[in-house]
Amino acid sequence: MIEIKVPTVGESINEVTLLKWTKKDGEWVERDEVIAELESEKATFEVNAEKAGILTTIGKEGDTLNIGDVLANIDETAAKPEGVTAPVAAAPIPAAPVNQAAVTAVSNDIKASPVASAIIADKKVDTKSITPSGTGGKIMKQDVLDALNNPGKKSFAADGALFSRNVRQEKMSALRRTISRRLVESKNTTAMLTTFNEVDMTQIMEIRKQYKDKFKEGHGVNLGFMSFFAKACAIALGEWPSVNAYIDGDQIIYHDYADISIAVSTPRGLTVPVMRNVESLSMADIERKVVELAGKARDSKLTAEELQGGTFTITNGGVFGSLMSTPIINIPQSAILGMHKIQERPMAINGQVVVRPMMYLALSYDHRIIDGRESVSFLVRVKDLLENPALLLMGKDPVKALLEL
């Protein structure tokens, strides 16, 4: 009998949550086959069978387990079952009695009483708006009448009951508890302020429109906005090092590189994987890394290493339609940039009113280490780089570089 124990998943992590078993108790498992999914305070990961054999599960889904606890046992001496039992065929749905008239307006896949079917056909009721109450999901007369009497009224309740007063209680996941703790800690331990600016996205949108097809053909990835923002931030971080630093006790830790975290929303909560050395990456490298990390985050495949060590964070609330927000610092970092929705707005340019695609930018920063001059100058620099993408090539005006100014 082999014991499958909860593995070590990273420094300072002492416990995990058993999300689900991917194999059932008593089921045969092959060596290296995934048997369970665990969630730590930073990421989710899989547990594999160390040997082939019969699985005996010990932990229950939702349990909190300590590192080193026995999760399951595998009997490697058990004989492998021969063959697989064929699935039982589903019983055929009995045909309607001959004396019942067919109602052509109601699909044969929908079970309804004769009276309910007649009302549905006569009133042309959308069956999706009906909550069945009969045995086996059968639609009854009163169900159709309720749908007719309450058009457009929806219920939060799973059973579709209107005016429900039901209250549900769910245990917070390890990831959600960590998010909650870190957000409160960030608010309580930093002197957080937010400064705002706006950027004209005309040039970037023109570049994407002109080169997106060639870019994808040449690099195998779409040209998005994140590469422009990440590259602009990497350049600005090099010029304003305090924005790329953090406080450790009575020391300020500066970084001569830009490891930029990108906030990714997943069904289990917010994760912030890290792109390493963004200052050294090309635009295509950044786009590929964004796709890779976002995919891993949504599939719960991120490693602990991919979630640690960022020096600055970018979050994009614009994908959800946010026009402006004040993002919270991702501690121990000292600053975070918030991107937002691109909105066409009238702008006064050279004495004329023109419509331009504009985006509000928000920089939240820790005032203990970053002064107002540095935060505002950093954000203005990012704005200038985005509005003049040619500057991203060398960090300064090509003409000034040519003239050595």
Catalytic-role residue among 63, 122, 213, 367: 367
Which residues have C-beta within 8 Å of that of residue 201, sequence separation ≥ 6? Answer: 342, 356, 357, 358, 359, 386
Q: DSSP character for 83? A: S
Is 96:124 a contact under the CB 8 Å cutoff? no
| The pLDDT value given to residue 403 | 60
Is 64:17 a contact under the CB 8 Å cutoff? yes
Catalytic-role residue among 32, 285, 371, 397: 371
191-402 belongs to CATH 3.40.50.720: no
- CATH of 92-171 given 4.10.320.10, 1.10.10.60, 3.40.470.10, 3.90.1150.10: 4.10.320.10
Q: Quick check: pTM over 0.75?
A: no
Average pLDDT over residues 398-405: 62
Better-predicted residue by pLDDT, 188 or 392: 188
152: left (phi over 0), alpha (psi -120 to 50) or beta: left
| The pLDDT value given to residue 122 | 79
pLDDT tens-digit profile of 344-367? 999 999 999 999 999 999 999 999
Is pLDDT above 60 for 66?
Answer: yes
The residue ranges of every structural domain in the chain are 2-75, 92-171, 191-402
Q: Which residues of 30-39 are buried (b: 16+ CB within 10 A; e: fewer)?
A: eeeeebbbbb
- Annotation says 367 is catalytic: yes
| The pLDDT value given to residue 305 | 84
**Beta-bridge partners for 112:** 139
CA nearest neighbour of 16 among 56, 50, 61: 61
- Annotation says 259 is catalytic: no
Is 127:139 a contact under the CB 8 Å cutoff? yes
CA nearest neighbour of 290 among 199, 381, 385, 219: 219
pLDDT tens-digit profile of 5-62? 888 766 557 778 888 898 888 888 888 888 888 877 666 778 888 888 899 888 888 8
- CATH of 2-75 given 2.40.50.100, 1.20.1260.10, 3.30.565.10, 3.40.50.150: 2.40.50.100
Question: Comparing 150-164, 225-239, 288-302, which segment has the lowest mean pLDDT?
Answer: 150-164
